[in-house]
Amino acid sequence: HSFPTRRSSDLLLFQKRFASNSEDFVRRHLPLDWPGTEVIQQLVTLSGGLFIWASTTIRFIEYGIPSERLEKVLSASARSASHARLDDLYRVALTHSFDSYDESECKIVHSILGAILVARERLVDEQLSQLLGLAPEIVRNVISRLQPLL
């Protein structure tokens, strides 16, 4: 029996999630062939067989303006090895999710990320809010921006 390679599973993932009938993209009125087979193949190559890179890339693109997010991923990832590309992807996702935040707001993001990492178990928004003494709507806003990474 022949098993699919990691790259072929990444290709299938990109094709399925970027398909013109994908629920996440239909409502955005993208062209039927968006982003095109050439770009999908480029993304598969950039994934280097790392499924986590492929799935994180898709979530990052889905949670923003698709064409702008795709451009950011392609420009940040074009010159790196697979694991470095994953680091670049996380950097792009974090940077562009919070680029409008000021210094005090970034400290809140850092504290929420720190609590999530240190907890070593799943925390709900209300628990994070109580733990950090933050308003629940602030925690929900930050978590929603972190969604592609979480």
Q: What is the pLDDT of residues 45-88, one digit of tens each?
A: 888 878 888 888 888 888 888 888 899 888 876 655 655 777 77
Q: What is the pTM of this model?
A: 0.56
Please give the single-letter amino acid code of residue 73. V
Alpha helices in the chain (DSSP H): 6-17, 23-26, 37-47, 51-62, 66-77, 82-97, 103-119, 125-132, 136-146
Digit-coded pLDDT (tens) for 122-149: 888 899 999 999 999 999 999 988 887 7
Query: CB of 15 within 8 A of CB of 39?
Result: no
Query: CB of 118 within 8 A of CB of 134?
Result: no
Burial class (CB in 10 A: 0-12, 13-18, 19+), 141: middle
pLDDT level of residue 111 (50, 70, 90 thresholds): very high
